[in-house]
Amino acid sequence: MKKVIFCATLLFVAVLTQSFSKIPICITCNLNGEIHTDSPAIVPPGYYPFKLGNFTITVISDGTLLMPLEHLIVGTKPGEVEQALAGHHRASPTETSANCFLVNTGGQLILVDAGGGEIFKAGGLGHILDNLAAAGYRPEQINAVLLTHFHPDHTGGLLRNGKIAFPNADIYMHQADYNILFGASGEKDQSENAGVIQILGLYKAGGRIKTFNSQSVLFPGITAIPAPGHTPGHTCYMVVSAEKKMLIWGDIVHAADVQFADPNAAVVLDANTTQAIAERKIIFAEAAKEGYLIGAAHISFPGLGYVGLNGDQYEWIPVVYSTGNKVQLFK
């Protein structure tokens, strides 16, 4: 009896020919009846470009993290998280995307969030610069990085090999988050923010950090909209071009399978749970009513979709995969 052969190419060829016995050698890996143990990790492409009006936006993946959602999500009924995950054919720990959004306005390149970078390399992140390169951009071309908040899975990618990763970029962040890191809010224990302080400190030393206090137009077509709760300075960014709108919402949702159905489900990482829940409800309601596109940091890559309202329950409606095809063959 033949050995079971774990090789996708060989399996594919065998299925095509309807014979396992006639195809002893895998055309890709030259595997000759041996168990395939050294196959490379499967890493799908990590960038997704699309048009929003006259802008080109590219979602850049920094990778994924395995999140133990049954411990991270709070304010739910017993078993609610497990049930919601099972209902979506998932389990905890749940593979959770870290998405960044590059807005090419035609005149400027503006990145929203920088991923976890080297800080989270061991946890599966740190791919932003490779995926940026794959999408055809170099870090020195980036004019600005807008931060949704200061947490390290959004700011770690600002560093590369101990140096600033985006040498020509200004960093934009809410004053309240800046104050937490750089002392003005009087935080006593800064040990858990030490890595982020070090990274953003490099940009601060170069005079590259710009802050805002309230809703502000930062660039033509890009408006910062504070949505505090997850952090005091947590901010969403509304991008508008030729009447097309997209809200890049940062960490409004960490567990799509749970939080659309139950916006009261919060994450332990929230600085102010009550405020974070209230903001989530406001943003869900407006996004469902207005129907604009959402770009989400932690919803499965590319994290693009719409908030739907089914009865009295919100739902996530992901965009379809698009190549921009305008040709209709079947009529």
Is 177 an interacting residue with respect to Zn ion (CB under 5 A)?
A: no
Q: Considering CB under 5 A, how many residues would be counted as binding Zn ion?
A: 2
Q: Which is nearer to Zn ion, 68 or 79 (CB)?
A: 68
Task: Compute the C-alpha angle 185/268/193, nearest 5°.
Answer: 40
Task: Compute the C-alpha angle 168/140/303, nearest 5°.
Answer: 100
| Encoded tokens for 94 | 């749940």
> Which window, 75-83, 150-158, 205-213, 303-311, contacts Zn ion (CB under 5 A)?
150-158
In angstroms, rounded to a whole number, what is the distance separating the alpha carbons of residues 288 and 278? 16
Is 62 an interacting residue with respect to Zn ion (CB under 5 A)?
A: no
> Which window, 2-10, 243-251, 256-264, 286-294, contacts Zn ion (CB under 5 A)?
243-251
| Contacts of residue 131, Cβ cutoff 8 Å, sequence gap at least 6 | 45, 46, 47, 60, 61, 62
State the minimum distance, in angstroms, from the CB of residue 79 to Zn ion. 25
Cβ atoms 27, 8 nearer than 8 A:
no
| Contacts of residue 260, Cβ cutoff 8 Å, sequence gap at least 6 | 253, 284, 307, 313, 314, 315, 316
Is 262 an interacting residue with respect to Zn ion (CB under 5 A)?
A: no
Cβ atoms 251, 297 nearer than 8 A:
yes
C-alpha to C-alpha distances, 171 to 88, 105, 213, 329, nearest whole angstrom: 37, 17, 14, 46
> Which window, 60-68, 106-114, 130-138, 145-153, contacts Zn ion (CB under 5 A)?
145-153
193 backbone dihedrals φ, ψ, rounded to 5°: -105, 5
Q: Which is nearer to Zn ion, 13 or 100 (CB)?
A: 100
Is 251 an interacting residue with respect to Zn ion (CB under 5 A)?
A: yes
State the minimum distance, in angstroms, from the CB of residue 237 to Zn ion. 15
C-alpha to C-alpha distances, 301 to 58, 102, 238, nearest whole angstrom: 12, 14, 19
State the minimum distance, in angstroms, from the CB of residue 250 to Zn ion. 7
Q: Which is nearer to Zn ion, 55 or 151 (CB)?
A: 151
Binding mask 7-46 for Zn ion (x = CB under 5 A): ----------------------------------------
Q: Are strands 266-267 and 73-74 parallel, antiparallel or unpaired?
A: antiparallel
Q: Which is nearer to Zn ion, 208 or 254 (CB)?
A: 254
Is 113 an interacting residue with respect to Zn ion (CB under 5 A)?
A: no
| Encoded tokens for 193 | 């923010």
> Which window, 12-20, 147-155, 161-169, 235-243, contacts Zn ion (CB under 5 A)?
147-155
State the minimum distance, in angstroms, from the CB of residue 172 to Zn ion. 17
> Which window, 20-28, 112-120, 152-160, 209-217, contacts Zn ion (CB under 5 A)?
152-160
Cβ atoms 255, 69 nearer than 8 A:
yes
Binder among 153, 177, 257, 270 for Zn ion (CB under 5 A): 153
> Which window, 80-88, 155-163, 165-173, 247-255, contacts Zn ion (CB under 5 A)?
247-255
| Site residues for Zn ion per CB under 5 A | 153, 251
